[in-house]
Amino acid sequence: MINKAQAFDSADHGILLKKLKAYGISGNLYNWFTGYLRGRTQRVVVEGVASEWSPVTSGVPQGSILGPMLFLLFINDLPDIIPPTTSKGLYADDTKLYTAITSRQDCDNLQVALSYVDDWSKESNISFNTSKCKALTISRRKQPIVINYHLGSAELIRVESEVDLGITVTSNLSWNRHITKLVTKANSTLGLLRRTCPMLTNCDARRTLYLSLVKSQLSYATEIWSPYQSLNKISFEKLQRPATRWILQVKK
């Protein structure tokens, strides 16, 4: 898992404009994007004291409609440089490289892909947050094939679990850790509702609060981690029962 450092702020304007031209954007539209990106300035104000104005030479405008699209166009050529022996997945500023490891050659192929990604980062003048770049081996073998991977000069941190888009993925692909964290968080939210809304007597309002603040947590990405073990199902039932009593205002 590879994380770009301050990704949305580090997209070089000159490189971005070159990529826009490579994608066929020209003429008045290209000139408009040039004017949109360039000519911006910024300064820092601390306790009423302001620094000198400095030109902004990188980054897409935060909070703008075009910002996310421009960043996606900036990294759009990243998958093209990754060899077909390695699969890839991109979401915003996160990049994942993965492959089935059945031999040392597979490990070497993955390292080659990482080297290409490092080359791309240098050409695109964008850096990676190496403290957030991790290597996770998913296997049920007692002794899987494991080597130390590098991104440039930095060795990737090897982990037993990692949170990916809100899902805790473990090395043995067990969802127990994710479900435990999820139930704990949902219980905490339910307890907060019960403490802060003791005078709320409307059943529909209580149900709406539960569905939007608690059930939404329990429903997120269930296609991936939906509990199949009895112990995990019981933990969900233990949460649902007090929630139902709170919604219907039924005493235990």
Tell me which H or E stretch contains 10. Answer: none
- Give, in order, the Cα–Cα distances in Å from 125 to each of 5, 85, 101: 11, 26, 31
Tell me which H or E stretch contains 219. Answer: helix 216-219
Which band of pLDDT confidence, cut at 50, 70 and 90, is reported for residue 197?
Answer: confident
Q: What is the pTM of this model?
A: 0.80
CB 144 within 8 A of CB 109: no
What is the C-alpha to C-alpha distance for residues 33 and 17, in angstroms, rounded to an integer?
8
Mean pLDDT of 70-90: 92
pLDDT at 86 over 90: yes
Position 227 scores a pLDDT of 81
- For the ranges 17-26, 124-133, 157-166, 207-216, the lowest mean pLDDT is seen at 124-133
- Closest listed residue to residue 227, CA positions, set 242, 209, 240, 244: 240
Our measurement of the distance from residue 121's CA atom to the centroid of its chain's CA atoms, rounded to an integer in Å, reads 19
Sign of CA dihedral 220, 167, 224, 80: positive
Q: State the DSSP string of 154-218.
A: EEPEEESEEEETTEEEETT---HHHHHHHHHHHHHHHHHHHHH-TT---HHHHHHHHIIIIIHHH
CB 120 within 8 A of CB 81: yes
What is the C-alpha to C-alpha distance for residues 109 and 83, in angstroms, rounded to an integer?
8
pLDDT at 5 over 80: no
Burial 189-212 (b: 16+ CB within 10 A, else e): bbeebeeeeeeeeeeeebbebbee
199 phi and psi angles, rounded to 5 deg: -95, 0
- Give, in order, the Cα–Cα distances in Å from 46 to each of 31, 41, 50, 51: 36, 17, 6, 9
Q: What is the 3-state secondary structure (H, E, C) of 46-72?
A: ECCEECCCEECCECCCCCCCHHHHHHH
Burial 33-49 (b: 16+ CB within 10 A, else e): beeebeeeeeeeeeeee
Position 81 scores a pLDDT of 93
Which band of pLDDT confidence, cut at 50, 70 and 90, is reported for residue 24?
Answer: very high
pLDDT at 215 over 80: yes
